[in-house]
Amino acid sequence: MTKKPERPEDVALEPFFSDARAAAPRPSGDLIARVMSDAQGGRPVRGLDTARRGGLLERLTAALGGWPALGGMAAAGMAGVWIGYAFPAGLSALGAELLVPEGDYELVELMPTVDMFLQGG
């Protein structure tokens, strides 16, 4: 499978490329033996449990992706709590149109405010 040169400068270099393709370097047997022995030395021994078994919290943290993932989940949870508590005014109109097109819905206070305690109910 020989490529035909497309440009004039490729024509001048083509003999060098064909010689380089013909004399491809092969690794020596000694190099292959050293690489294979190094690879065999890095394999875990079957039946030997090298992994450290941690407690429930450590295994759960590892299953969820580690501490960075838990930090992201905590931040997202706190953002959800804040958005739910502050309830931006623009979302009520959007929610009314998307969820209840007729507009007959009630807002229920799920989190008590100071005014609810002062009024007694």
Give, in order, the Cα–Cα distances in Å from 6 to each of 9, 10, 12, 15, 77. 9, 7, 11, 14, 61
CA dihedral 30, 36, 41, 45 (to 10 degrees): -150
Over pLDDT 90: what percentage of the chain?
14
The whole-angstrom separation of Cα 11 and Cα 7 is 7
Q: Is the pLDDT of residue 71 over 60?
A: yes
Q: What pTM value is reported for the model?
A: 0.34
The whole-angstrom separation of Cα 79 and Cα 86 is 10
Q: Is the pLDDT of residue 113 over 60?
A: yes
3-state secondary structure of 57: helix
Contact 64, 73 (CB under 8 A): yes
For residues 81 and 108, the model is more confident at 81
Q: Is the pLDDT of residue 78 over 80?
A: yes
